[in-house]
């Protein structure tokens, strides 16, 4: 079928049987001990979630349904004349595990364009936000308010059977993704005084439309960048703050708008998605302090001054990764192709040769290598989008693809309410004091 929903309807019964069989065979097997340190340490490494869409390897980085980023770039359908994968194709891959045909991708583009309009009251909410309200707060307000028209919330009130949950969750998830460009475009134009929004062009792909709403569609480079950007930011297995928040809130049968609004609030934190804003602010501060063509020694000293000030070096380190993030590498390759002589890009490259040694010498960070956020802002700035406070909104548009795919599968597989156990320090002390 060219319809994603029809293809899913074929796959879901098979996966329900598959999960049943895996649980029957392995359900009572243990992963190994849980350390007390993991309870205090942000549950790092604790096996706790299931998600087939993407898996993160500490050395190799992310794979979407088993495919690396370069494999996705090679295999997924592209826009006419384009070289980067279409995010529509990645969404199909995340949901089905299959590489879609160009026709299947085109149908998704059309479907999303048809669903893109915002309810008038959501437009009004955004228009009433003071421009001083952070774009991420505006973003989460608007997404939460979309719950007004949730197909899932309505079906639940009407007494839908558990077995049918995934259908209206799918509809809401498609609406959610489809409406994000209009939300992002409206915030951008309102906050930065960029005039009225153009209409969606149903003959164009999702990223072109997003670029057009932001006012950048005349730059083919920017449109291609968005295609790559959304693809690589879409998903990063199940345990990161935004993905896990979406799943957790969705487990209470909150609809996809409520669940994703919550996920966005997590993405808005500086240790997670806000880091891309923080990187650019940090780079600009560095340039204004030590000049645009600073020596390695001056850069090194600046990095040390950040650490000595008790701050993190934004864009470096990761909770899971222990090597350079392949999302960083993909963006670096994009820069080498499209903006090799950009000064800020050169600074990002210079920093790459300096920061890991400094972090190793400082001796705290478990991973001294750059993550995705170390590179994205430089690319956006190159095309004229230099409003850093907006960057995480683009991360938020992208991450919806992964969270939505997870929500659909969770409802299809009947994922239960999440409820891990918490302990008091008194109890821990008592439990282990003589052991």
Instruction: Tell me the catalytic residues.
Output: 272, 318, 373
Nearer residue to ligand CMX within complex by CB, 151 or 365: 365
Provide the 3-class DSSP secondary structure of residue 55.
strand
Could you give the CA distance from residue 280 to residue 345 in angstroms, rounded to a whole number? 11
Nearest in space to 381 (alpha carbons), one of 222, 248, 174? 222
Binding site for ligand CMX (CB under 6 A): 44, 240, 271-273, 275, 307, 312-319, 364-367, 371-373
State in angstroms the smallest separation of the CB of 178 from ligand CMX.
24
Q: Return the bridge partners of 61, or none.
A: 57
Instruction: Specify whether the CB–CB gap between 266 and 241 falls below 8 A.
Output: yes
Could you give the CA distance from residue 247 to residue 268 in angstroms, rounded to a whole number? 17
List CB contacts of 157: < 8 A, sequence separation 6 or more: none
CA 321, 173, 273, 374 dihedral sign is positive
**What phi and psi values does residue 316 have, to the nearest 5 degrees?**
-120, 150
Nearer residue to ligand CMX within complex by CB, 351 or 372: 372
Nearer residue to ligand CMX within complex by CB, 40 or 121: 40
Nearer residue to ligand CMX within complex by CB, 217 or 392: 392
Q: Which residue is nearest to ligand CMX (CB)?
A: 317
State in angstroms the smallest separation of the CB of 356 from ligand CMX.
10
Nearest in space to 386 (alpha carbons), one of 336, 328, 342? 342
DSSP letter string over 354-373? THHHHHHHHT--S--SB-TH
Instruction: Specify whether the CB–CB gap between 300 and 401 falls below 8 A.
Output: no
Nearer residue to ligand CMX within complex by CB, 163 or 364: 364
Nearer residue to ligand CMX within complex by CB, 273 or 396: 273
- Helical (H) or strand (E) element with 62: strand 61-64
State in angstroms the smallest separation of the CB of 219 from ligand CMX.
25
338, burial (CB in 10 Å: exposed 0-12, middle 13-18, buried 19+)? middle
DSSP letter string over 175-233? HHHHHHHHHHHHHHHHHHT--PPPPP-TTS-HHHHHHHHHT-TT-HHHHHHHHHHHHHH
Give the tokens for residue 111: 């479907």
State in angstroms the smallest separation of the CB of 10 from ligand CMX.
34
Nearer residue to ligand CMX within complex by CB, 65 or 244: 244
Could you give the CA distance from residue 320 to residue 26 in angstroms, rounded to a whole number? 25
- Helical (H) or strand (E) element with 250: helix 241-251
State in angstroms the smallest separation of the CB of 382 from ligand CMX.
20
State in angstroms the smallest separation of the CB of 175 from ligand CMX.
26
């Amino acid at each position: 079928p060219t319809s994603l929903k029809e293809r899913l309807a074929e796959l879901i019964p098979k996966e329900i049987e598959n999960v049943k069989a895996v649980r029957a065979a392995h359900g009572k097997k243990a992963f190994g001990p849980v350390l007390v340190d993991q309870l205090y340490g942000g549950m790092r490494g604790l096996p706790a979630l299931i998600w087939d869409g993407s898996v993160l390897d500490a050395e190799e980085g992310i794979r979407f349904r088993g495919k690396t980023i370069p494999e996705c770039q090679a295999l997924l359908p592209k826009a006419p004349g384009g070289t980067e994968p279409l995010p529509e194709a990645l969404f199909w891959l995340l949901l089905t595990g299959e590489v879609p045909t160009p026709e299947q991708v085109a149908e998704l583009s059309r479907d999303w364009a048809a669903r893109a309009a915002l309810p008038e009251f959501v437009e009004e909410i955004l228009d009433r936000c003071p421009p001083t309200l952070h774009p991420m707060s505006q973003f989460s307000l608007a997404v939460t308010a979309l719950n007004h028209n949730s197909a899932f919330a309505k079906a639940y009130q009407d007494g839908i059977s558990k077995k049918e949950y995934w259908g209206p969750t799918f509809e809401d998830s498609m609406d959610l993704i489809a409406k994000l460009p209009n939300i992002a475009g409206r915030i951008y134009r309102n906050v930065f005084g960029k005039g009225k929004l153009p209409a969606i062009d149903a003959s164009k792909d999702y990223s072109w439309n997003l670029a057009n709403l932001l006012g950048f569609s005349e730059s083919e480079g920017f449109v291609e960048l968005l295609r790559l950007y959304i693809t690589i930011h879409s998903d990063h297995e199940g345990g990161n703050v935004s993905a896990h928040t979406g799943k957790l809130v969705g487990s209470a049968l909150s609809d996809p708008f409520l669940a994703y609004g919550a996920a966005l609030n997590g993405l808005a934190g500086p240790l997670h998605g806000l880091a891309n804003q923080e990187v650019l602010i940090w780079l600009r501060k560095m340039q204004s302090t030590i000049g645009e063509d600073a020596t390695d020694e001056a850069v090194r000293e600046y990095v040390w001054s950040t650490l000595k000030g008790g701050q993190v070096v934004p864009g470096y380190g990761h909770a899971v990764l222990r090597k350079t993030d392949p999302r960083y590498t993909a963006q670096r390759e994009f820069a080498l192709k499209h903006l090799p002589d950009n000064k800020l890009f050169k600074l990002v490259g210079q920093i790459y040769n300096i920061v890991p040694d400094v972090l190793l010498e400082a001796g705290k960070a478990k991973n001294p290598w750059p993550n995705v956020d170390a590179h994205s802002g430089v690319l956006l700035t190159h095309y004229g989008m230099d409003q850093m406070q907006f960057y995480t909104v683009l991360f938020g548009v992208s991450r919806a693809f992964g969270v939505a795919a997870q929500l659909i599968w969770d409802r299809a597989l009947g994922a239960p309410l999440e409820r891990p156990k918490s302990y008091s320090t008194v109890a821990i002390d008592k439990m282990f004091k003589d052991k």
